[in-house]
Every structure is written in structure tokens, then in C-alpha cells.
Amino acid sequence: MPNIFKSLAALSFIPMLLAPMTVQAQDATTAGQSQLEADKAAGLVAREAEKEAAKIRKEQEKEAEKAAKEAQKEEDRIAKAAEKEARKAAKAEAEASEDKSKEARKAARNAEKEAQDQRDNNAADASVLAAPLVPTPDKADPDNILFLDLSTGGRVTIQLYPEIAPNHVERIKTLTRQGFYDGIIFHRVIEGFMAQTGDPTGTGTGGSDLPDVAAEFNKFPHLRGSLSMARAQDPNSANSQFFIVFYPRFSLDNSYTNFGRVLSGMEYVDAIPRGEPPSEPARILQASLKSQNKPQPNFAAAAKPAERAISVDDLNAPIKN
């Protein structure tokens, strides 16, 4: 028994001996758990930090990519602008070169035209203009003196110049002998410019049955009283219409065939009513050549309006007080 009690007594000391070890084990367990928690927390923090770092790197990459795109875009814009300026400069240089070529060609044409004009002037001086173009009426060929008896009150005497426009003069003389111009109105009369006639229709579109006459442009200037042939756009379309110039109009030279000039009676031309056509147009009462020796018409009778014949309707009309 006593041994048993001794054994039991000995066993009673075991818990006392084990207690510190248990406490130490518990402390070790707690410390291990705390370390795990700490490691776990540290790992979480590290992962969050890595995640944040990755986010920042991604934002930085986006910003860098955006900056690279902007830089490329700006570089492309500058390159495009430079290319545009280069094309513009090349175009300006080409246009300048073309303008110089045009100016050179224009200068060459002008020089050729001046040379041709000078040759024409020299030829005219040596031939046509060397002869007297305005002979006195009493010495002139009577077949080249045209009379226009106008409804404005008198006879207009015109010197024809076959020396400078033989075909046009012949046409006027032929139609005059036929009586073609008798009674024809001045259908186009422009103040400060000219009075045009020779159209039997009075519209400006008519002419004779004869073929058109080719142009005979000459150096004789369009002065006051010049007689010149009217035409359409075609320079060779003159037929029967002609005009008398009120004032010098040199822009018509070398474009319209000048073939005569008024020697006397210009005041009757000046009196022709203006208009296109005039409301009360003047007429050529009679056209004749001096060689035909036709007497002048009764201008006073022609100027007086014709009395209207009394009709049956007038006789049957009621008497008005």
C-alpha cells in the first residue's frame, strides 16, 4: 500500500511538471497562429501592392501609348503640312513658268501683229492712200457719187471709193440702179454712233437676193460721215445694209468695210430719228448715182403726213358735238 501511495504521490507531481510545458505549447501555438495571421496579412498587403503596381503600370502604359499616338499624329500633321506647302510651291513655280511662257507667246504675237500692221501700213501708204481719196465732186467720176434723198429734208452726197473696196462699191451701185433702196427706213440709229439702213424688211435681218460680199477691210478710218457696210458675225456676210457714222469710231477700222464718205448734206443724216427701230423712222426717199441724173424729190410733200382717206365707216359714224 505504501508503495502504491508513493506511486500515486509521484504521479500527482506529473501535472505540475506538465503544466509549464502545456503553457509553453499553448504559447507556441498562439505565436504560430499570430505568425500565420501576420504572414497572411503580409501576403494580402503584398498582393494588393502588386495589384496597385500593376494598375499603375497599366495606366502608365496607356498614357505612354496615348502620348506616342499624339506624337505620331502631330508628326503626320507636320509632314502633311510640309507636303502641302511643297506641292503649293511646286504649283506656284509651274504657274509662274507657264505665265512667263504665256507672256513670251503674247509678246511674240504682239510683235508679229505690229510687224504685220506696219507692213499693211507701208503697203497702204504706197498704194491706196497715196491716191487722193476725197476728190472734189465736180472732178469725181459721176458714177462714184451716190445721192441719198432723205425724208429728213434734203439730199446727202456721198463719195464712193472703189479704190479701197471695189466689190462693196459695185454692190451699192448695182442695188441703187435697181431702185432697191428707195423707200427703205433707217431701222437702227444710235446716238453718238451711227445710222443704219438697207434692209427692205426694216428689221435688221433682211437683205437683197444677191450673194453676200467678202470683206474688204482697209486702212481708211471711220470718220464722221463715213459710209461702211453692215454685216453679221461672219466678216464675209455683208449684203445690202450699210451705216453712216455720226462721230469718229476708230474701233471699227479693219473690222468693217469702209467704202465711202459724206461730202455734203450731213445735217440731214444728223436729223435722222434715233431708235432700234425709231418710233417714226426716217426713209431713203430715193437713192441714185450722179450719172443717172435723177431730179430730187419733193421733200416738203414727203415730210407732210399723208391725209387719211375718208371711208364708208366715217360717213356712217354719228356726228359728235
Q: Which residues lie across from 190 on neighbouring strands?
A: 194
Measure the CA–CA gap between 299 and 301, rounded to whole angstroms: 5
Percentage of residues in the chain having pLDDT higher than 90: 49
Contact 188, 276 (CB under 8 A): yes
Q: How confident is the model at residue 13 (pLDDT cuts 50, 70, 90)?
A: low
The per-residue pLDDT for range 221-246, each reduced to its tens digit, is 999 999 999 999 999 999 999 999 99
Comparing 93-107, 165-179, 217-231, 265-279, the range with the smallest average pLDDT is 93-107
Residues 201-209: contacts with CB within 8 Å, 24+ apart? 202/277, 202/281, 204/241, 204/276, 207/239, 207/240, 207/241, 208/175, 208/180, 208/239, 208/240
Contact 193, 247 (CB under 8 A): yes
Q: How confident is the model at residue 321 (pLDDT cuts 50, 70, 90)?
A: very low
Q: How far from chain centre, in Å, is Cα 22?
A: 116
Instruction: Please determine, for residue 4, whether its predicted confidence score (pLDDT) is greater than 60.
Output: no
**Highest mean pLDDT: which of 56-65, 95-104, 178-187?**
178-187
Contact 281, 185 (CB under 8 A): yes
Residue type, 297: P
Q: How confident is the model at residue 194 (pLDDT cuts 50, 70, 90)?
A: very high
DSSP structural state of residue 280: S
Residues 84-92: contacts with CB within 8 Å, 24+ apart? none
3-class SS at 161?
coil
Mean per-residue pLDDT for 285-306? 87
